[in-house]
Structure 1
Amino acid sequence: MLDNLSIVLFGTKFPENVGSSARAMTNMGCENLTLVRPASWDMEKARPLATVKGRDIVEKALIADELSEALKDQTRVYGTTARTGGWRKGVMTPSTAAPLIVEQLRAGEKVAVVFGPEDRGLTNDETQLCSRLINIPTSHENSSLNLSQAVLIILYECFKNALDKPFTPAGPPEERPTSFEEQEILASNLQETLLAIDFLKADNPDYWMMPVRRFMSKIDIKRNEFNLLMGICRQIKWIAGQAGKK
């Protein structure tokens, strides 16, 4: 789905952040990772954070000495930035960049998204290598995002746009409505239960049950709800029986 999309981590200081980013990548179906001059690269520290699913991404990651080298085979390059204004005009959000990225991927282009060091991000010189810039809007009180969080947010938007149809979470299977026969069984059991606890008058229970039946007719009782109410009736009748013995 995101086969031609690459995540490029430039000057990453902590190998644990590389591992967490790899985990985010595998969640969103992106497998291409390039590290450019990682500050203190340690595979053993990155693997645990990548988890089992993301370890393959970490182990196959390309390592480059220069950002220009890492981007040489890409046709489109997006840089990420926390700073806006000045000459950084036309900065996109993940939600506006993702449709364009996916369109380019579908056209067969190779697209890279570049993330800078955790403490300072990409410099002006580094962003000049990027054709477009992406900024993730955050609260003004705390605009700092963990590297893997930023990777996940952008990939999530790309993943959504790459789906053939909108994603809808699978809910529980729809329960069938109760049949007339089941409704009568439930009404009969409910009447017995209400008689057992003296809620209905024993001299003419069918008459006094009519308001209860009218109420039940307004409810679209499903089969699982039928089972629940039948169980409640059984338990109430058992308790009423135990009370009668005492």
Structure 2
Amino acid sequence: MTTQTAPKHPVIILVEPQMAENIGMAARAMANFGLSEMRLVSPRNGWPKKGAHSAASGATHVLENAKLYDTAREAVADLNFVFATTARERGQMKRVFGPEPAMQETHSRIGEGQGVGILFGRERTGLENDEVSLADAIITFPVDAKFSSLNLAQAVLLVSYEWNKRVVGEALPFGGERRSPPALREQVLSFFEYLEEELEAVNFYPPDKKPSMTRNMRDMLHRLEMTEQDVRTLRGAIRALAEGRRLRKP
């Protein structure tokens, strides 16, 4: 393969997938994290499969552009480096990667112009040893040893997620930043005084405990690091309660 034609992303290769839903969900996982090239090796009962598109939940471009191959060997023939995913040790002298370092390796190789593919096996039995032997290295997952079997689409999701982290980092699509600036100390202290006046009006404080209760309440509210909007909202709520009490008073 020449550097001009090498894919700019890892190629996801599903070997003899059985269930249409798994193929569709794998396509969805790929699209979630910026992957688009899927190769299918002898899907059971042919291709296309009924139900795959609905399971893809909009990632139909991945399915519509999927390429079909008769054997895993044919599916990896134009690639420079291949990973095989497996949950169990195969007795083959290959480097073993977790998904994160595997995608670091992938990112580096693709940057050099290499084509990189990742083989995923059958839902029930995984890859055969001869198929694993086609690969340069193995990807396995740090799962519970008592239940190590991953769903096909889940395995694709884990690898796709780690790839996307290498490309775009871990920036989230939105944050929880404040939409109102922090309240000025004058606003906070004025609110405290208003609150304490209203509590005094309903005899909230035992006579001998008012100083300590006031300090504790102020400390509690300080820990909220209130914004200007917080202060306005709390002040308005207390005003509504106080006015309602006065209206109900005979």
- Which TM-score band (shorter chain)? 0.7 to 0.9
1:116, 1:11 → 2: CA distance? 7
Q: Does 1:107 align with 2:112?
A: yes
For the residues of structure 2 that align with 1:4 and 1:154, how far apart are their CA atoms? 12
Q: 2:175 aligns with which of 155, 171, 188?
A: 171
Shift of 1:196: 3.0
Amino acid at match of 2:201: A
User: What is the 5 A alignment of 1:40-189?
Assistant: 40=45, 41-52=47-58, 54-84=59-89, 86-163=91-168, 165-167=169-171, 170-174=174-178, 175-189=180-194
Q: Does the 8 Å contact 1:196/1:240 carry over to 2? A: no
Instruction: Provide structure 1 residue ranges, at least 5 long, that are not aligned to the other structure.
Output: 202-207
Bigger Cα displacement from structure 2, 186-195 vs 15-24: 186-195
CA shift for structure 1 position 85:
5.0
Distance 2:28 2:69 in 1: 21
Instruction: Decide whether the 8 Å contact of 1:7 with 1:32 is kept in 2.
Output: yes
The aligned residue for residue 190 of structure 1 is: 195
Q: 1:216 to 1:20 in 2, by over 3 A?
A: same
The yes-or-no answer on 1:26 pairing with 2:31 is yes
C-alpha change, 1:76 and 1:240, in structure 2 (3 Å) is same
Pair 1:76–1:195, CA change in 2 (3 A): same
In 1: Cα distance, 2:245 partner to 2:38 partner: 68
Between stretches 191-200 and 213-222, larger displacement belongs to 213-222
TM-score after normalising by structure 2: 0.83
SS of alignment partner, residue 78 of structure 1: strand
Q: State the SS of the aligned residue for 1:112.
A: strand
Shift of the alpha carbon at 1:87? 2.6
- Post-superposition offset of 1:111: 0.7
Q: Over aligned residue pairs, what C-alpha RMSD do you find?
A: 2.6
Letter in 1 for 2:177: P
Q: Could you give the per-residue CA deviations for residues 96-119 of structure 1, whole angstroms, max 9, x where no partner exists?
A: 212111111222211100111111
- Once the two structures are superposed, residues 131-179 of structure 1 have per-residue CA deviations (whole angstroms, 9 ceiling, x without a partner) of 111111221221111100000111111211223x443574322342222
How far residue 25 of structure 1 moved from its aligned partner, in angstroms, is 0.2
Of 17, 25, 30, which residue of structure 2 is paired with 1:12?
Answer: 17
Aligned to 2:214: 212
Q: How many residues align?
A: 236
% identical equivalent positions: 30
TM-score by length of 1: 0.84
The AA in structure 2 aligned to 1:244 is K
Paired with 2:171 and 2:226, the residues of 1 have a C-alpha distance of 30
